[in-house]
Structure formats: C-alpha cells, structure tokens
Structure 1
Amino acid sequence: MNKLILGIDAGNHMAKVVGPHGIDIFRTNICDWFEREVEESFGEDDMEFEISGRKGFAGTIAMFEDEFGNGSMYGDTKAHEDNKIRVLLAINRYLDKYCPNVGTLSIVTGQPIKRHKEEEKKIIQQMLIGQHEVKVNGKIRSFYIDNVGVAPEGSAAYWAKPATGLTRILDIGSGTVNAATIMDNRHINNASTTFNFGMETVKDKNDMTTIARGIIRNTTKLKWNKTDKVLICGGIAEGIAPAIIEHYSNGEIINPTIKSGNGVKVLVPVYANAVGYYEIAKGAFA
C-alpha cells in the first residue's frame, strides 16, 4: 500500500488515530527542548522531535518536564502550530507502528464546531498539505499529505454510529465540549455549538455531577429536549454518562467499531471522533 487514509483526532490531552491497520493513542503534551542531565523515560510515547524548525519534547515526557504547565494549547480552535505538530507526530507514530514504507497520505482531522469556519479550515489545511520531514527520537522520516479534510468535532462522531431521525451528540474533551445536532445525516447549526470548557479546565475534574450539570444547562440554551436521543463520547464518557442520563433519559455512550481481521473490534468512547473522521476520509479520498 503506497497511500494511506487516516482519521486523526489530535486532542489537547490525547491524540487518537484510526486507519486500515488499527488504532493508536498517545499524550499530546508538547514542550520546548532543553538538554537533560538525567535522561529518564516516562512512557512509551516519549518523543524528542524536530519539526519545521521547532525542537522539543512530546508525549508523557513533556507532561512531566514542561516548566510552563501541562504543555497543551487549549481553546476552541485547532488552527495553530501545536496542532500541526500533534498531527505530524500522530502520522509518524502510525507509520512506525504499522506501515513504515508508506509515503503518501490523505487524512481527516477536526476543528471545534464553534470555529468550524472556512478561514479556520483553510489554515489547518495549509499547515498540513504538502511534503513534511520529521525527526523523532533521532530517526528522520519524510511523507507527503495530499488531502486534508477538516470535520466538525462531535458532529463527526455521528459517523461512528449513524442513525436516522434526530441525534444529539456530546463530545466531552479536555479543553472543550462539543454539542452537535444531526438530523437525517445533516448537521444542524442552530442547535450545535462548542462550550469553552473541558475536563482539564474545570476546578474539580472529579466532580462529575457538577460538570454534567454545567453541560446540561448549556445544552438547554440550544433547546435540547429531555427525551432527545443523546450520544456521549470522549475520554470521560463512561464516568460522566450516568449524571447526564439523569436528565437526558435517552442518553447512551458511543462505543465505535472498526473492522479487525474478519470481525469487528469495539472501541472505547474516546475514539468516536477518530472513527468518524476515518469514515469520512474513506468516503472522500478512497
């Protein structure tokens, strides 16, 4: 296979990648490079990188070594350099893990609903389309990205579990919560948005009841009904779902599936967007 199609959800906390060979996940923390006197290992995703003239550490090592905090760029847009580095690192890891001889890729990645606008999407596409050379842990790799689709976060997760009629989606991330409404395969703008808070930005990330209450309160402003079908995804989905379902009685977790050999593999909810992106990418670029 000379060309690869991937769905890449490069989140503020974890990057999730879905493709024809399987899945991958790693911490997306990034920090600037410095000379280490003691070279400790912090996790299998430790990366020392050089990309586009920038030199740094990424993965679990950056989470511990960053002197300025937790090493993640939060906010309601992915149109920035940190996201570019996350996506390129995600591609490099996937190639290393599954298909090191692939040189050309087409991908779909995401942008929060609130900033899913043409000018923002073009910035992301311009950052990623073209030839790239990355150096990770001393190994240099070159690859070419010929197509980049930018899908709305949350809304894209619908394609991991398509349904007829009205479907609401809560994509609860580390920096944002995407609230999406889909009606018969179409995104409904006036009932969808991005809330600019997430599990890593609230005061007490263990207080699921209060966080769920904040999410519910904001969705009522979008005129969501208590009896609507609500699909819940994101890394915290299993923990927060009971508190959300107390209000949205028809709520359920998205457990996306992918083909695996001759069967089907069921994934945890954190992969919902990545699976959705992959399904969109196959439809657009295959």
Structure 2
Amino acid sequence: MSKLILGVDAGNYMAKVAGPYGVDSYRTAICEWFERNIEESFADDDMEFEIAGRKGFAGTIAAYEDVFGGSGAMFGDSKAHEDTKIRVLLAIHRYTDKYCPGVEDVTLVTGQPIVSHVDEEKERIQEMLVGHHKFTVNGTKRHIQIHNVGVSAEGAGAYWSSPEEGTIRILDIGSGTVNAATIIDTKYINNASDTFNFGMETVDTDNLDSVARGIVRATTRLKWNRNDSVYICGGIAREILPCIASHYVNARILQPILDEKGFVTVAEPVFSNAIGFYKLAKGVLG
C-alpha cells in the first residue's frame, strides 16, 4: 500500500483509529518529559516522544506520571491545538507500527466538535497536520508525510459508521464534550445539532442519571422528540443507555461497522467516529 487512509478520532481520553487493517486505540494523556530513575512499565501504549521540539510521555504512563494531576488532557470545544497534533501523529505511529510497518504516506479525516466545525478552526487543524513530520517515539525515528486532511463534525461523522435513512439523532458522549447531531436522509441539520461543553471527565460520573438529564434537557431545546431514533456512541454508551432511554424511548447503541477486504467487524461504539471518519476519507480523499 503506497498511501494509507485513516480515520482518527483524537479524543481527550482515548484516540481511536480506523483503517484498512482494523482499529486501534490508546490513552491520550500527555505529560512533560522528565528523567526517570526507575523505568516502570504501565501499559502497552506507554510512549516517550519528541515532536516539534516538545519532549514528553503519552499513554497510560502519562496518566500516572502527570505532576499536575488529572488526565493530562486539554479540554475545550476545539481540537485546533498542539495536543491534537501530538495525538494524531502518535496514532499514526501506532497504527503503522502495528499493521503496516514502513508506510509513511498518509491521508486522513479527523474530527472537530460540532460547535467549532467552522472554516477557520478546520483550516487551523489542516495547516497543523498537512506536511512532512519528523519525530521520535520510544527511540524510533519516524518520517510521516500527511498529504490531505479532512475535518468532520464529531457525532455527525459517527453517523457514517452505520448509516440509515430517515431522521437519525446521534449522541456522541465524550470525555470533554457531548455532540448532538441530527441527520435527515443523510443530510446534516444544523439547527437541530449542537455541542454541549461538558463530558464524562468534567462531571460527576457516579450519577449517570444526572448526566443523562443534562443531555436530555439540552437536546429537547433542539426540539428532539422522545420518540426519535437516538443512537448513542462513545466509551460510556452502554452504561448510560438505560438513563437516556428513560426519556428517549427508541434510544439504542450505535454499532459501527468496518467492512474491509471481505472481513466485517462490528466494533464497539467508542469507535463510531473513527470508523465514520475512515469511510468519509475513503469516499472523499481516497
């Protein structure tokens, strides 16, 4: 394969990647570099990196070693920042190292919260990612040429992981934001979609009923009906489904489907955006 096509969901908690060989994910915590007197191993996603002059640790090791506490994630309603660049490059490194060593040419679609899915923010992400990148991960020097970058709206992009006709509502519940997308006959509806600036790492997750009530209140202001077809994706999808379904009676889990080389994979809902992005990348940039 001369050029690799990927969908990269560079989330605040996990990066999810989909491509022609399957899916991958890793913990997106990032912390600054320090000299370790004892080199403990935390998980198979432990990474020591140097990217664009910045040295640090990423993965599970960073979640434990972050001296500032928390997850080491940069929250907010835009992905147009340096952490996204690091997350995406590390995602590409992991995917190629795992599935297709030696591949250096990449085209991808990544995501941006609905509220910030505007030309200026999308262009910032594209300018940050397109080009030749030289970096080091765990002592290995990497050269990656990113040729094209598409930027899809999170939640709306997840729809393409398992598209249906009719009126479809998507709840993409992430660590920093909740994206609520409405798709009618494959067309995105702006006035019935939005981003809510809270997520599973910014609220009390011990009370999912309370989180669900917040989501329901916000979506009813978008004129969502309790009988609508509502699909839930994200890492918390299965746990929060009963709480959402107490209002949206036709709520269900979004089951993303990856069909490559004759093998059909029904992935976990956390991969919905990544698989949707990958399908968009193949259709638009492939």
TM-score normalised by the shorter chain: which range applies? over 0.9
Unaligned runs of 5+ in 1: none
1:258 counterpart SS class:
strand
The runs of 5 or more residues in structure 2 that have no matched partner are none
What is the CA RMSD across the aligned residues, in angstroms?
A: 0.8
Q: Secondary structure, in 3 states, of the residue corresponding to 1:127?
A: helix
Q: Contact (CA 8 Å) 1:256, 1:272: kept in 2 or not?
A: yes
Write the letter of the residue equivalent to 2:223: K
Moved more, 259-268 or 61-70: 259-268
How much does 1:237 deviate?
A: 0.1
1:259 is displaced (CA, Å) by 2.2
How far apart in 2 are the matches of 1:206 and 1:273?
Answer: 25
Count of aligned pairs between the two proteins:
285
Distance in 2, Cα, partners of 1:143 & 1:81: 17
TM-score calculated relative to the size of structure 2: 0.98
**Aligned equivalents of 1:67, 1:186: Cα separation in 2:** 45
For the residues of structure 1 that align with 2:39 and 2:160, how far apart are their CA atoms? Answer: 43
Contact 1:2/1:101 (8 A) holds in 2: no
Name the aligned partner's letter for residue 184 of structure 1.
D
1:261 CA displacement: 5.1
Structure 2 residue identity aligned to 1:270: V
Q: Is contact 1:109–1:151 with CA below 8 Å preserved after alignment?
A: yes
Alpha-carbon separation, structure 1, partners of 2:91 and 2:17:
7
Match of 1:113 in 2: 114
> Equivalent residue for 2:2?
2
Q: How does 1:78-157 map to 2 (within 5 A)?
A: 78-157=79-158
- SS of the equivalent of 2:244 reads helix
TM-score by length of 1: 0.98
> What is the CA–CA distance in structure 1 between the aligned matches of 2:273 and 2:93, rounded to whole Å?
20
Partner amino acid, structure 2, of 1:234: G
Post-superposition offset of 1:263: 3.2
Aligned to 2:184: 183
Alpha-carbon shift at residue 58 of structure 1 (Å) = 0.2
Counterpart position of 1:76? 77
Deviations 1:81-131 (A, max 9, x none): 001100000001101001112121100000000000000000000000000
Determine the C-alpha separation between the residues in 2 that align with 1:281 and 1:42.
33
Quote the offset at 1:246 in angstroms: 1.1
> How far apart, CA to CA, are the structure 1 residues paired with 2:263 and 2:127?
37
Aligned residue in 2 for 1:279? 279
SS in 1 for 2:227: coil
Sequence identity percentage: 62
Deviates more, 1:263-272 or 1:44-53: 263-272
CA contact (8 A) 1:216 1:244 kept: yes
Tell me the distance in 1 between the aligned counterparts of 2:262 and 2:105: 26
Is 1:197 equivalent to 2:198 in the alignment?
yes
Report the 3-state secondary structure (helix = DSSP H, G, I; strand = E; otherwise coil) of the residue aligned with 1:197.
Answer: coil
Q: 1:23 — aligned with what? A: 23
Secondary structure at the aligned position of 2:94 is classed as helix
Amino acid paired to 2:103: V
Moved segments of 4+, more than 3 Å: 260-263
